[in-house]
Chain A
Amino acid sequence: MIWNPQFECQSSEERKLLQLARLKNLVETLHSRVAFYRDRFWAAGVGPRDLESLQDISAFPFTVKDDLRLTYPYGLLACPEPEIEEVHMSSGTTGVPVVDAYTRYDVECWEEAMARTLSGAGATRHDTVQNCYGYGLFTGGLGVHYGAKRIGANIIPMSSGNTQKQLMVMRDFGSTILTCTPSYALFMAEEAKETGFDIKAMKVRAGCFGAEPWSENMRKQIEAELGIDAFDIYGLTEITGPGVAFECERKDGLHVNEDLFYPEIVDPETGRPLPDGEKGELVLTTLVKEGTPLLRYRTRDVTYLARGTCGCGRTTARIHRLYGRTDDMLIIRGVNVFPSQIEHALIEIEGTDPNYLIAVDRGATHLDEIELMVEVKRELFSDETRTLETLRSKIESVMKSKLGITLRVKLVEPKTIERSVGKAKRVIDRRAI
């Protein structure tokens, strides 16, 4: 279902005119109201008059996460403080929190973006949305909440955790749409299985999953174990929260709400814009934000842009499912490699649980050498050395054909690779560069 055909199915010419008008307005606002941007523009030698076409945006400076930290809490505010009606922020586990402030209009736009997102997964006013994203400073919980309210659906604000209660509510209130992180969806399925609860018999038919990277394989697993359709959604605290981009029933990339957010793909090294279809870092500009608008924000997420009308009828640009983060990217003999690509390739080799570690080193030849350590689990183990050697060379050849890099596979004992509660450590770079 398309929530807002006027903006989602707009012709490309009309959309470009709208984006340019909004972008001009944004640059003027930032120039006149935000000292931080005024200084940046001055340093870069650009001003509001330098924006005559959408392409001109590439002359303007980027905004990075550290800029947001340095201006904490209200340094990037572009409206008078009393206009602010709501504030969200990142958890700040890696430093000072990143703040996003919303005016009444900003919250309305967020509702709109999330109504489109939930509609992409087929939600209507007849649905019951069980929202298991955390409520609070995190944008996930309230973002989905606002979208579901805008649609007119019944919203159950569960927040995260308390899985037994989640299952009880799912059964007793006949939830039809589930919203949570993909890993929590699988956790729920597991817990259901352990307690003899038939989760597949529930009325849930679709789920909107985001807030963490996940793979196509994980989608298949969620769909099989919960008996639902799983949709990928994308957003980030700095840029409003969820609702930046979402999948439709075609599941062929995530539609960017382009009238609200302007996407660019740039080379993460040089910052130069890359053409459509080419993989690089996603850069986002908020087109209508009043509270804390951002110009050319470096998301560090790696993807590519595809344009053209989708089978669903939407004309908005689509981003491919995220490949990884620029911070995780490895350059091996000039080839860009993401740990997630290695993970996907490993999953495809039957039985290989992706518990792996990548060690990069410069060998005696001064060329990059990469060693991939893969844990040998029971399913992979054989009493014959030949079988294990075959497995090893199979992984090596799959990596060669899929990633275009030559690496050496080392089979290691289970649990030799360090487990961490949060983000697993996947890469050791021993190169002295």
Chain B
Amino acid sequence: MRIQQISVFLENKTGRLADVTLLIAKAGVNIRAISIADTADFGILRLIVDRPLEAAEAISRGGFTTRMTDVLAIEIPDKPGSLAAVMEIFKETGVNIEYLYASLEKDASTAVVIFKVEDIDHCLKIVADHKLSTIDSF
């Protein structure tokens, strides 16, 4: 299953991240995974939250440019070699990864990794074929 990620455009200015997180806090939304891609001038904040639509609206109303993107959240056993095994499958089946980042663990024995891939339908098929476990909400 795919889940929705919120991306937020941030200028490299002190306090912008605080502004965004405050908007999310005020909306009463819980952040489950977070990552920032940065360049010299700007950053892109990526968020997985429990109520994405509400969060995106609150952030947009705060004057930020946001965008929703479909990503995959794959459960991976929390032990050595698990991520490598998934990556090997993706490599063999030609799944092209744009970026990934880790999320909070759902329980003690599994980790959740967020994947943004080039062709999400293809990737979903591979995930199903190899009986990988995805989660559809946090």
List chain A positions with a Cβ less than 8 A from chain B. 376-378, 381-385, 388-389, 410-416
9 inter-chain pairs at a CB distance below 8 angstroms, sorted by A residue, are A376-B9, A378-B66, A381-B9, A381-B66, A382-B7, A382-B44, A383-B5, A384-B37, A389-B39
* B63 at the binding interface (Cβ < 8 Å): yes
Which residues of B1-47 have CB atoms within 8 Å of chain A's CB atoms? 5, 7, 9-11, 16, 37-39, 41-42, 44, 46
Given contacts A389-B39, A410-B41, contact A382 B67 (CB under 8 A): yes
Chain B nearest CB from A237 CB (Å) reads 39
Chain B contacts for A414, CB-based, 8 A: 63-65
Report the minimum CB–CB distance from B64 to chain A (whole Å). Answer: 7
Most central of A376, A412, A413 by chain B CB within 10 Å: A413
Mostly helix, strand, loop or mixed at chain A's interface?
loop
- Asked if B67 and A385 make an inter-chain contact with CB atoms under 8 angstroms apart, the answer reads no
Contacts A381-B9, A413-B10 given; indicate if A388 touches B63 (C-beta within 8 A). Answer: no
Looking across the interface, which residue of chain A has its beta carbon closest to that of B64? A413
- Closest chain-B Cβ to A193's Cβ sits at a distance in Å of 23
The answer to whether A384 and B98 have CB atoms under 8 Å apart is yes
Which of B5, B10, B46, B67 has most chain A Cβ within 10 Å? B67
In the bound complex, do residue A383 and residue B46 qualify as a contact, i.e. CB atoms below 8 Å apart?
yes
* B9 proximity list for chain A (CB < 8 A): 376, 381, 411, 413
B binding-site residues for A, Cβ under 8 Å: 5, 7, 9-11, 16, 37-39, 41-42, 44, 46, 63-67, 69, 98-99, 116
B44/A383 in contact, CB under 8 A:
yes
Q: Is the CB of A388 within 8 A of B5?
A: no
Most buried by A among B9, B38, B41, B116: B9
Contacting pair B7 A413 (CB below 8 A) = no
- Determine if A376 and B7 form an interchain contact, defined as CB atoms under 8 angstroms apart: no
**Chain B positions within 8 Å of A378 at CB level:** 65-67
Contact of A385 with B44 in the complex, beta carbons under 8 Å: yes
**A413–B65 touching, CB < 8 Å:** yes
Contact between A377 and B42, CB atoms less than 8 A apart: no
> CA of A382 to CA of B38 in the docked complex: distance in angstroms?
13
Report the separation of the CA atoms of residues A6 and B127 in the bound assembly, to the nearest whole angstrom.
81
Q: Are A413 and B11 in contact (CB under 8 A)?
A: yes
Which of B41, B42, B64, B99 is A384 in contact with, Cβ under 8 Å?
Answer: B99
Residues of chain B within 8 A (CB-CB) of A381 are: 7, 9, 65-67
Known: A378-B67, A381-B65. A411 touches B41 (CB 8 A): yes
Q: Quote the shortest CB–CB distance from A372 to chain B (angstroms).
A: 12
**A413 to B46, Cβ gap below 8 A?**
no
Q: Which of B11, B46, B65 makes the CB contact (< 8 A) with A377?
A: B65
Which B residues are in CB contact (< 8 Å) with A382?
7, 44, 67
Specify the chain B residue showing the minimal Cβ separation from A378.
B65
A145, B67: Cα distance in complex, Å: 50
A410 to B11, CA, bound (A): 10
Question: Which residue in A377, A385, A413, A415 is a CB contact (below 8 Å) of B37?
Answer: A385
Shortest C-beta distance, B61 to chain A (Å), equals: 12
A261 CB, nearest partner CB in chain B, Å: 48
Query: With the chains together, A226 CA to B135 CA distance in Å?
Result: 50
Residues from chain B with a CB closer than 8 A to the CB of A377 are 65
Contact across chains for A411 and B42 when beta carbons are under 8 A apart: yes
Query: Closest B-chain residue to A411, C-beta based?
Result: B42
**Chain B residues within an 8 Å CB radius of A383:** 5, 7, 44, 46, 67, 69, 116
Instruction: Please measure, in the bound complex, the distance between the C-alpha atom of A50 and the C-alpha atom of B131, giving whole angstroms.
Output: 96
Q: Cβ of B98: which chain A residues have Cβ within 8 Å of it?
A: 384
Q: In the complex, how many angstroms separate the beta carbon of A410 from the nearest chain B beta carbon? A: 5
Most B Cβ at <10 Å: residue of A383, A385, A388, A410: A383
Residues of A within 8 A of B69 (CB): 383
For the complex formed, measure the closest distance between the CB of B11 and the CB atoms of chain A, giving whole angstroms: 5
In the complex, A414 Cα to B98 Cα: how many Å? 26
Question: How far is it, in angstroms, between the C-alpha of A414 and the C-alpha of B63 when the chains are bound?
Answer: 7
Say yes or no: B63 contacts A415, CB within 8 Å: yes
Sample of 7 more A-B contacts, CB < 8 Å, known A377-B65, A382-B7, A388-B44: A376-B65, A381-B7, A381-B67, A382-B67, A383-B46, A383-B67, A384-B116
Tell me, in angstroms, the Cα distance from A378 to B65 when the chains sit together.
6
How close is B103's CB to chain A, nearest CB, in angstroms?
16
B63 contacts which chain A residues (CB < 8 A)?
413-415
Which B residues touch A389, using CB under 8 A? 39
Chain B nearest CB: distance from A162 CB in Å? 32
Residues on the A chain within 8 Å of B5, using CB: 383
